[in-house]
Amino acid sequence: MEKRRQYEFPRFLHHWYLVIFTLALLATAQAFDYGDALAKSLLYFESQRSGRLPYNQRVTWRDHSGLTDGLEQGVDLVGGYYDAGDHVKFGLPMAFTVTMLSWGVIEYGEQIAAAGEYEHALEAIKWGTDYFIKAHTSPNVLWGEVGDGDTDHYCWQRPEDMTTSRQAYKIDENNTGSDLAGETAAAMAAASIVFRKANPHYSHLLLHHAQQLFEFGDKYRGKYDSSIGVVKNYYTSVSGYKDELLWAALWLYKATDRVDYLKYVINNAHCFGGIGWAITEFSWDVKYAGVQIIASKLLMEGRHEHKEHSHVLEQYRSKAEYYLCACLNKTISANVDRTPGGLLYIRQWNNMQYVSTAAFLLTVYSDYLKHSGQKLSCPAGEVEHQEILKYAKSQVDYILGSNPMGMSYLVGYGPKSPRRVHHRGASIVSYRENKGFIGCTQGYDNWYGRDEPNPNIVVGALVGGPDWQDNFRDQRGNYMQTEACTYNTAPLVGIFAKLHQLQLQLGEHKLSRTPSFFASY
- Looking at residues 166 to 225 of the shown chain, list those that interact with ligand NAG (rule: CB under 6 A): 172-174
Beta strands, E only, 379-486:
381-383
* Closer Cβ to ligand NAG, 139 or 439, answer by number: 139
Least Cβ distance, residue 280 to ligand NAG (angstroms) = 14
Least Cβ distance, residue 15 to ligand NAG (angstroms) = 28
User: Any contact of residue 367 with ligand NAG (CB under 6 A)?
Assistant: no
Least Cβ distance, residue 212 to ligand NAG (angstroms) = 14
Q: How far is the C-alpha of 190 from the C-alpha of 184, rounded, in Å?
A: 10
* Closer Cβ to ligand NAG, 302 or 340, answer by number: 340
Least Cβ distance, residue 227 to ligand NAG (angstroms) = 11
Q: Which residues contact 268 (CB under 8 A, 6 or more apart)?
A: 242, 245, 246, 249, 274
- Looking at residues 19 to 48 of the shown chain, list those that interact with ligand NAG (rule: CB under 6 A): none
Residue 384: its H or E element = none
Least Cβ distance, residue 173 to ligand NAG (angstroms) = 5
Alpha helices in 239-384 (DSSP H): 242-256, 259-267, 288-301, 304-307, 310-327, 352-372
- CA nearest neighbour of 389 among 428, 417, 363, 371: 363
The answer to whether the beta carbons of residues 100 and 357 sit under 8 Å apart is yes
Distances from the Cα of 204 to the Cα of 106, 196, 244, angstroms? 16, 8, 22
Residue 503: its H or E element = helix 486-512
Q: How far is the C-alpha of 113 from the C-alpha of 118, rounded, in Å?
A: 5
What does residue 65 show for φ and ψ, rounded to 5 degrees?
-160, 160
Active site residues: 422
Which amino acid is located at 512 in the chain? Answer: S
Q: According to the 3-state scheme, what is the secondary structure of 136-184?
A: CCECCEEEEEECCHHHHHCCCCCHHHCCCCCCEEEECCCCCCHHHHHHH
Least Cβ distance, residue 87 to ligand NAG (angstroms) = 28
Least Cβ distance, residue 92 to ligand NAG (angstroms) = 21
* Closer Cβ to ligand NAG, 137 or 211, answer by number: 137
* Closer Cβ to ligand NAG, 6 or 174, answer by number: 174
Least Cβ distance, residue 329 to ligand NAG (angstroms) = 4
Q: Which of 64, 196, 306, 338 binds ligand NAG (CB under 6 A)?
A: 338
Burial of 58 from C-beta contacts in 10 A (0-12 / 13-18 / 19+)? middle
Q: How far is the C-alpha of 223 from the C-alpha of 175, rounded, in Å?
A: 9
* Closer Cβ to ligand NAG, 402 or 456, answer by number: 402
Helix axes 34-47, 118-135, angle to 10 degrees: 30
What does residue 313 show for φ and ψ, rounded to 5 degrees?
-60, -35
* Closer Cβ to ligand NAG, 171 or 230, answer by number: 171
Number of residues in contact with ligand NAG under rule CB under 6 A: 6
* Closer Cβ to ligand NAG, 338 or 370, answer by number: 338
* Closer Cβ to ligand NAG, 173 or 433, answer by number: 173
Q: How many beta carbons lie within 10 A of that of residue 135, not counting itself?
A: 28
How far is C-alpha 461 from the geometric centre of its chain's CA atoms? 12
- Looking at residues 428 to 487 of the shown chain, list those that interact with ligand NAG (rule: CB under 6 A): none
* Closer Cβ to ligand NAG, 171 or 291, answer by number: 171
Least Cβ distance, residue 187 to ligand NAG (angstroms) = 23
Least Cβ distance, residue 174 to ligand NAG (angstroms) = 4
- In the shown chain, the binding pattern of residues 292 to 331 toward ligand NAG, with x for contact by CB under 6 A and - for none, equals -------------------------------------x--
Q: How far is the C-alpha of 282 from the C-alpha of 285, rounded, in Å?
A: 8
- CA nearest neighbour of 465 among 387, 407, 507, 518: 407
The answer to whether the beta carbons of residues 33 and 18 sit under 8 Å apart is no
- CA nearest neighbour of 435 among 3, 19, 63: 63
Q: How far is the C-alpha of 479 from the C-alpha of 420, rounded, in Å?
A: 10
* Closer Cβ to ligand NAG, 153 or 338, answer by number: 338
Q: Which residues bind ligand NAG (CB under 6 A)?
A: 172-174, 329, 335, 338
